Amino acid sequence: MKRILGTVLACAALAACSEPAPSPSQATTPRADPSTAAVVTDCGTFDLPQGEDLPDSAARCLVEAVRAGHPAQLKVTRPTVEGDPIPVSYAAGADGRVEVITDSRQDGFGAQVVTRQTCTGPTAAPELRFAECSDPTS
């Protein structure tokens, strides 16, 4: 009995002194150096009701970040005619390209896919528009 108790206590002491095993996300994700990590401008998250436009300030935020070469993000959810939510996320890189991800999986009458496009030349008047975009890919 003493031998078992001694073994259990030794194992507990070793476990307490060792570092915990990394979680799967820690094991596969390199840690960013805070001094080199890019600051991402958050231009907002908007859940727009039927017929409402994106605020001018949000579109201008993304356009200005692209022009300045700063990473930025913007998230907008708009309803379909039937009221199904369609989230669209915009992720601007320091290179001036904007990745546009449209998630139509909740659209009861649509394709129900997630598409990606790379766009350039954003403008903010009257709504967020792009000079060029790649063909959507699923």
pTM score, whole prediction: 0.72
Average pLDDT, the chain: 81
Residue 127 Cα to chain centre, angstroms: 21
Q: What is the structure's pLDDT at 37?
A: 58
Residue listed under structure tokens 């001094």? 35
Lowest mean pLDDT among 12-21, 30-39, 80-89: 12-21
Q: What is the structure's pLDDT at 50?
A: 95
Of 6 and 59, more confident: 59
The arithmetic mean of pLDDT across residues 61-86, rounded, is: 97
CA angle 114, 137, 55 (to 5 degrees): 60
Residue 74 CB-density burial (10 A; 0-12 exposed, 13-18 middle, 19+ buried): buried
pLDDT for 74-126, tens place per residue? 999 999 999 999 999 999 999 999 999 999 999 999 999 999 999 999 999 87
Q: How far apart are CA 89 and CA 95, in angstroms?
A: 18
